[in-house]
Amino acid sequence: MEFLNANPVCYLATVEGNKPRVRAMGMVSADEDGIIIQTGTYKDMYKQMSANPNVELLFYNAKDGIQIRVSGAVEPVEDKKVKEAIVVQRQFLKPIVEKEGYGAIAVYRLKGKAYVWSFATNLEPKKYVQL
């Protein structure tokens, strides 16, 4: 979790039909309850996760040559207090919420299995950690 929070820019892979879709995004937070991500209900990412909640997140630190891939199914988080805290953290969302309400913000929790990769462990068998 420390690595994820220290490297919050990640890459999210979703599926649309049978085509993969990947984009960079900023994770909200990670702790023992899972990884929190946020998007807008008007975005393709939201539509893709609504249709197929199976995703993969990739966190990468180029300096140390370490990446962590986390895969699993996202679960919607409908807690308004969580959404309010995200808007405080991400001020660019404030005008959207003022115009459209908190329903324009989709928050998801990912609990899944994580795989840590580095150049040093590149040839070792994969070991997964359940989050």
**DSSP states along 72-90:** EEEEEE--HHHHHHHHHH-
Q: Which residues of 79-88 are buried (b: 16+ CB within 10 A; e: fewer)?
A: eeebbeebbe
All residues at 6 or more sequence positions from 93 whose CB lies less than 8 Å from its CB, including other chains: 86, 87, 105
Both tokens of 80, joined, read 């308004």
Whether the predicted model's global pTM rises above the 0.75 cut: yes
Instruction: Note the pLDDT of residue 58.
Output: 98
Domain chopping of the chain, boundaries: 2-130
Q: How many CB atoms lie within 10 A of CB 57?
A: 23
Q: What is the pLDDT of residue 68?
A: 97
The CATH class for the domain spanning 2-130 reads mainly beta
Which secondary structure element, helix H or strand E, spans residue 54, and what is its range? strand 54-61
List per-block mean pLDDT (blocks of 10 residues) for the chain, which spans 131 residues: 96 96 97 96 96 97 95 97 96 96 97 94 90 88
**Number of neighbours of residue 96 by Cβ within 10 angstroms:** 17
Report the pLDDT value the prediction gives residue 31, as an integer from 0 to 100: 96
